[in-house]
Structure 1
Amino acid sequence: MAGGENRSWVIETVSWPLFGLSAVLVVLRLWTRTRIIRSLGWDDAFIILALVCACVNSIMITISAHYGTGRHANTLTEYQQIMSTKYNWLSQGFHVMSSNWGKVSVAMFLLRIIRKVKHHKMAICGGMVLLTIINVVCVYTIYGQCTPTAKLWDTSVDGSCWDPGVQKNYAFFQGSSSAFSDLVLALYPLHTIYGLQMARKVKFGLATVLSLGIFAMVAAIIKTINLASLSARADYPWKTVDLAIWIEVEQYLIIIAACIPTLTPLFNIAIYKRSSKRNASSGKKVYTGPQYGRSDGYAQFGSRPGQEYPLDEYSGDIWTTRKDGDGNSDDPIITEEGGQGIMKTTEIHIQTGSMAERNDSRP
């Protein structure tokens, strides 16, 4: 490798566009929750915390790149080596907690879906607590492996450090746990949605948006493979550049995957209005019913005049399909069967037990 190689720009090119996209999605999520469905939750608070931690991580790794991360150590001054290594290490704890809070947000979103399934709720809560403990310990191993911590990036400081393999091995364990949790959070919605009574294309769409965490799992696996660079003290600024890149990718993919499912009310409004215009031009009506106060398929939503929202977000019932007059089996209708269904946040509330038991439990 040539001594003048420089990959610092790659870190910045990856970090800030992903941050911008994540920030836009978080803002849209909060706008949707506050202005459309008017239902903020703890999952929203944790996704904000995840974004803040990710932003601090990106700022620090950008400073680290400015001082030399992405270049070979022999091309840097002693001061540049110390500062690039310092901010590189400092950034990693914020990444760990950003990923943790992002997963907690996803898990709490799932809890809103399965509020009726108590044993699933206990499993998800227990998993969140266990994962948070693993990640907090990981942060300790990052900043506590040297006493004082400054010796981690400046070997001239008096003190002592663990064997580099100790922190690296725990980082492997934490990275593997993180990837496994992404897999569980991605597959769980598939399990819960599989048995629901709804149009096939709606079921497929929900399964897709709720399982986007699979991409974060792939990033977590690649990041974990690159954790071996943590023990590369000889050329740390260069050896850790791939790790820094995949750290950025993983933390922002978690945030993106957590936000997209919460934006379905916005998508529904846009799609439904387009569909309504087409139906109006063709003379076909959809979602009719005097029980909802209107004949055009919309129900009044919120307190402001003229604010309307599609019925699938308003009625609390679930989707099903039927053969209607034109023979289209995928046209959705509103049904009372199944009790709790697609709610104001497009969240499907899953509950166990027979249909009779569910009907008996309804107010």
Structure 2
Amino acid sequence: MGLHEQFPAYGGRGPGDLRLGLALGSLATVVMAMRVYVRLRVNKFGTTALIWSLMAWMFTAITQILGIISVLHGLGNHITIVTKTGELHNFLLFTWITVFFFNLAIPTGKVAVAAFLIEMNGQSNPKIRRSLIILAVANIILNIPQVLMVWFQCTPVDALWDPLRQSHCDHRKSVYYTYFVGAVAAFSDFYLAIIPINMLMPLRIDRKLKWGLSFLMGCGIFAGVAAIVRTWAAKFILSDDSSYGVGVLFRWGEIEEWVVLITMSIPPVWPLFRPFTHKFIKSTSSRSQPRNYQQPYGTSAPGDRASLAPPPLVTTTISISSSKEPTPTSVPVGASSDSVSKYSDDHQEVPYNVLSDKNMEAAWVQLSDLEKNPYPQ
């Protein structure tokens, strides 16, 4: 027996919403599991952000499960079919419970991303740190009324899912406030996608690696686009064919939720992909053309050494912490590392953690820079 026979109100936009949600949810769950593994077995960075991420995943998973039940009872199908099959009561009940958990999941995901970026930034940029804290607090405070409004649209409350007492409900205030918090959510997604790019661009690391990390961490822009469409679709709650129109809202809402979880979980699992990218970065560096000098370094007489130009220097190295031991405070010259190029015996490197607090035991990204760079690339 198929779903259409077992659940006669199932149809319309519902099947597409269901398949999309299950696909994105499965991917997000796999990435979250990898993130937990990295935290437990690889390094100790990102505990606070991981806790918030797990909370966001829990609320989103509950939203998705309830959304599937709502789809089976008519969400995404035309209201005439839902009414004809006698599923209007179940449709209203499960849809509004889904909306309640959705309103919990959205701000929690934003706070989780902000927490990760705060830990990544550490104390290196106080302005960015303050802006992320303000954004996280604003998302929590502004969404509290949105969560409560679900249960105060009707008098009494149980009229919310009673088809015969829908005249006792007024959804306009909730929808109008959704426009406001939806705009805040979209702005938050765009800001959280741009900030890590702003943090990575000034760093002198391999160009392809820089752009790759920037792209992965900037994919939150897609969540911002989904937030805009989802906010626009809130108007369908007030339409005559609400069950069909809300299918649009549900689809873009689940895209927004899962994309936030996926994009913010990819950077922390970087250590698992480090062996695959190391050869790529190394080969990229080896193909770079060295500068031409009149004489090879070190081939002249000892007295003429000062007159020769020094060899080209690579001013930065990048490595991803993959051990539970504290990050070393110095790198001996000639030591094995994930350096993208060799460096000279005449210049000592002084490593420092740009993207984490100096007191942390392990850094997500450790960057090394020369104290002086007389020959910048």
- TM-score normalised over the length of structure 1: 0.76
Q: 1:306 is matched with which residue?
A: none
Give the drift of 1:144. Answer: 1.9
Match of 1:331 among 321, 334, 341: 341
Provide structure 1 residue ranges, at least 5 long, that are not aligned to the other structure: 278-296, 304-312, 319-328, 350-354, 357-363
Rate the CA distance shift 1:191–1:228 in 2: closer, same or farther, 3 A: same
Q: 1:142 is matched with which residue?
A: 150
Q: Does 1:68 align with 2:86?
A: no
Alignment-mate amino acid for residue 201 of structure 2? Y
1:173-184 alignment runs, 5 A limit: 173-184=180-191
Q: Does 1:89 align with 2:96?
A: yes
Q: Does 1:346 align with 2:364?
A: yes
Give the drift of 1:74. Answer: 1.6
Maintained 8 Å contact 1:112/1:347: no
1:18-167 alignment runs, 5 A limit: 18-77=24-83, 79-116=86-123, 117-157=125-165, 160-162=168-170, 164-167=171-174
Match of 1:205 among 212, 225, 229: 212
Q: Classify the secondary structure of the residue corresponding to 2:39.
A: helix
Q: 1:192 is matched with which residue?
A: 199
Alignment-mate amino acid for residue 104 of structure 2? M
Maintained 8 Å contact 2:50/2:112: yes
Give the drift of 1:271. Answer: 3.0
Maintained 8 Å contact 1:316/1:340: no
Rate the CA distance shift 1:159–1:147 in 2: closer, same or farther, 3 A: farther
Percent identity reads 24
Give the drift of 1:275. Answer: 8.0
Maintained 8 Å contact 1:143/1:149: yes
Provide structure 2 residue ranges, at least 5 long, that are not aligned to the other structure: 1-8, 284-318, 332-338, 357-361, 373-377
1:295-334 alignment runs, 5 A limit: 301-302=323-324, 315=328, 331=341
Q: Classify the secondary structure of the residue corresponding to 1:156.
A: helix
Give the drift of 1:226. Answer: 1.0
Deviation track 1:231-275 (CA, whole Å, cap 9, x = no partner) reads 12x322212111111111110001001101111111113333788
Equivalents in 1 of 2:280, 2:126: separation in Å?
39
Maintained 8 Å contact 1:147/1:159: no
Equivalents in 1 of 2:87, 2:211: separation in Å?
51
Q: Classify the secondary structure of the residue corresponding to 1:76.
A: helix
Alignment-mate amino acid for residue 94 of structure 1? F
Give the drift of 1:7. Answer: 2.6
Larger-gyration structure (1/2): 2
Rate the CA distance shift 1:143–1:231 in 2: closer, same or farther, 3 A: same
How many residues of Structure 1 are paired with residues of Structure 2 in the alignment?
311
- TM-score normalised over the length of structure 2: 0.73
- For the aligned residue pairs, the C-alpha RMSD in angstroms reads 3.4
Q: 1:235 is matched with which residue?
A: 241
Maintained 8 Å contact 1:4/1:75: no
